[in-house]
Amino acid sequence: MRLFNYRGRFTLQALGLAQAWCGEGMSLREIGERLRHSPSNILKHLNEAGKQIEDGRRRPRVPSSSAQRAVAQRRRKVLKVCLSRSSGHHPRQFASTREMARELRRQGLAISASTVRRDLRALGFSAKRRPTAQKLYPMDPATRVLFAKSVDVTSDIFFSDEKMFDCNDHSSKTEWCREGVPPSVMQRERWAPKVHVWGMIGIGVKRLVVLPECGITGSVYKRVVLQRQVVPLFEELKAAGRQPVFMQDGARAHTSHANIKYLTSKLVRILLNWPPRSPDLNPIENLWALIQELVSNHGPTDKEELTAFVLQVWDAIPQSVVDNFVRSFADRVNECIAKEGRQLSR
């Protein structure tokens, strides 16, 4: 009598014998010796045969109470290791499932990284890409909340910032590939060509200036940005009946005594008390990210091409998109208050 087919699975005759002997109280070892197979394989085939139900579908095998307790105890240990805090920059002490499995083995629980992943999924966890954000110091959240509660979001605010673009690839970090084909490499050049720009956006307004290579000092910022861009524009807006407010961050070149005195003498209203380390509150940061992606898709190779592409992309962005970024400031302020000063999700 043939007991196994060409795939090593039980035939109906062998399965019937195993079920009959199991019903008589024979041990798996004895059944395995008679059928010339391992006890674990005998148990597997018996379990698979027991999964069939009347409508033809398979029913999962219910583990014993002792097995359930063992799984629950193992998952409690996995959860404890997963949630353990770190004193360094990482919020979790063990960031990957491989590190968690190594720590659990050190504690006496020998499991693999795949088992850790399976347990974490069963506990409701999922692996997600961590977003990057500006580091906040202990007093920063309270300062951000104080600013968010005091700022007048209905003001005609014009948001400004500086940005350094380079020729490196800043496109998507993921790529769809065929099976067995590796993704293309994101090549990064340490000393890639760069261009430093200053931009300002407001309702119906967008301005961009390519800054000189000598670096930004207080005098250069006053001559290139304030005298040539901000003051003339604000005089035109006030002549048209608007009441603009100029926003700039707390960089030393921006807030030097000479520049603040100059803006005050020209009757330029400044948005006061902008919190430090808060680029997520500035809508122009989203515009910079959009421009960076579009410029990266062009693939500039030198500084001339990079400058031309930045100016081209800036001019091509519709003013309606810029206005939507500016109007989002009210939502950012409300979210900052709701999150008690923590980083925004934008």
253 and 334 share one domain: yes
Q: Do residue 153 and residue 279 come from a single domain?
A: yes
Residue 231 structure tokens: 């003051």
Q: Are both 332 and 243 inside the same structural domain?
A: yes
Question: How much is the pLDDT for 6?
Answer: 44
Q: Please answer whether residues 250 and 274 qualify as being in contact, where contact means their C-beta atoms are separated by less than 8 angstroms.
A: yes
> How do strand 194-202 and strand 269-270 relate by DSSP bridges?
unpaired
**Do 12 and 149 fall within a single domain?**
no
Q: Which domain holds residue 272?
A: 140-170+191-338
Residue 133 lies in a domain: no
Mode of pairing for the β-strands spanning 244-247 and 194-202: unpaired
Number of Cβ within 10 Å of residue 156's Cβ equals 16
Global pTM value: 0.69
Are the C-beta atoms of 275 and 143 separated by less than 8 Å? yes
Query: Both 204 and 160 in a single domain?
Result: yes
Q: How far apart are alpha carbons 115 and 126 in whole angstroms?
A: 14
The answer on 279 and 144 residing in a single domain is: yes
DSSP β-bridge partners for residue 197 = 163, 210
Three-state SS for the chain is CCCECCCCCECHHHHHHHHHHHHCCCCHHHHHHHHCCCHHHHHHHHHHHHCECCCCCECCCCCCHHHHHHHHHHHHHHHHHHCCECCCCCCECCCCHHHHHHHHHHCCCCCCHHHHHHHHHHCCCCCCCCCCCCCCCCCHHHHHHHHHHHCCCCCEEEEEEEEEEECCCCCCCCCCCCCCCCCCCCCCCCCCCEEEEEEEEECCEEEEEECCCCCCCHHHHHHHHHHHHHHHHHHHHHHCCCCEEEECCCCCCCCCHHHHHHHHHCCCEECCCCCCCCHHHCCHHHHHHHHHHHHHHHCCCCHHHHHHHHHHHHHHCCHHHHHHHHHCHHHHHHHHHHCCCCCCCC
Residue in 231, 228, 237, 236 with CA at minimum distance from that of residue 208: 228
149 and 221, same domain (yes or no): yes
Structure tokens at 321: 């998109």
28-86 residue pLDDT tens: 888 888 887 787 777 777 777 665 434 444 455 556 677 788 888 999 999 998 888 87
AA letter at 69: R
What are the distances in angstroms from CA 86 to CA 81, 95, 333? 11, 10, 30
Identify which has the larger pLDDT, 204 or 59: 204
Tens of pLDDT, residue by residue over 229-274, are 999 999 999 999 999 999 999 899 999 999 999 999 999 999 999 9
The Cα–Cα gap between 142 and 137 comes to 10
Q: What is the average per-residue pLDDT within 166-170? A: 84
CATH number at residue 251: 3.30.420.10
- pLDDT value of position 234: 95
Residues 92 and 18 in one domain: no
132 strand-pairing partners: none
Identify any residues that bridge with 117 across adjacent strands, giving them in sequence order: none
Predicted pLDDT of residue 62: 54
Residues found in the chain = 346
- Per-residue pLDDT band at 87 (split at 50, 70, 90): low
CA atoms of 267 and 234, how far apart (whole Å): 9
Q: Are residues 57 and 74 in the same domain?
A: no
Residues 223 and 75 reside in one and the same domain: no
Burial 286-316 (b: 16+ CB within 10 A, else e): bbbeebbebbbeeebeebebbbebbeebbee
Asked whether residue 175 is domain-assigned, the answer is no
Residue 278 confidence class, pLDDT cut points 50, 70, 90: very high
Select the more confidently predicted residue: 131 or 1: 131
Please tell me whether residues 228 and 102 are part of one structural domain. Answer: no
